[in-house]
Amino acid sequence: ELRRIRRRIGMVFQQFNLVHRSTVLTNVLAGRLGYVSPALSLFNRFPQGDIAKAHAQLARVGLADKAHSRADALSGGQQQRVGIARALMQDPILILADEPVASLDPVLAHSIMQHLEQINQEDGVTVLCSLHFLDLVHRYADRVLALNQGLLMFDGLPEAIDDEKFKEIYGKEAERVG
């Protein structure tokens, strides 16, 4: 039962969590590991339907032409899009995104957030995303949970967090980034 639930929760990691020596396609197919037999997965054998789906997910994130490239040959933004495609392979009901833009420049950060927003709006997948950039929170979030030292300090709409509220949540010395 727990395995069945876990395989429907996609994860997008801050540092991408790709197997650098493997191809982009193999990394995306890793999202299906919860659905295939362990014996087949040991030999990187996946059903043709899963392979077709992986190609479709790569096309969705704009990386169709990178399927046979090594993961370590990609830029940071491309690697994060591979991570998103991998998460989509799980047929998720929930995607947990752990600071998915922390190591990206602002232009790439918006691109990644737009992909996550599109998944939420078009596929109805809930996206729970940790962000440290208030501008991104204001632009992409529907609801905000703000934590400080493990305590819930705010639960509400993004537009309710202005500079004053930000300092109330994180302390007078806190400064906004981005």
E strands, the chain, in order: 9-12, 94-98, 126-130, 144-148, 151-156
* Phi, then psi, of 96 in degrees rounded to 5: -95, 120
Q: Which two tokens stand for residue 4?
A: 């069945």
**pLDDT at 178 (0 to 100):** 58
Domains and CATH numbers, the chain: 2-130 (3.40.50.300)
Q: Which two tokens stand for residue 72?
A: 């370590």
**pLDDT at 65 (0 to 100):** 98
How much is the pTM? 0.92
Taking only the tens place, the pLDDT of each residue in 16-39 is 999 999 999 999 999 999 999 989
Strands 9-12 and 94-98, bridge-based pairing = parallel
Arithmetic mean of pLDDT over the chain: 93
Grade residue 169 by pLDDT with cuts at 50, 70 and 90: confident
H or E element, residue 114: helix 106-123
Taking only the tens place, the pLDDT of each residue in 48-105 is 999 999 999 999 999 999 999 999 999 999 999 999 999 999 999 999 999 999 989 9
More confident residue, 122 or 171: 122
Grade residue 174 by pLDDT with cuts at 50, 70 and 90: low
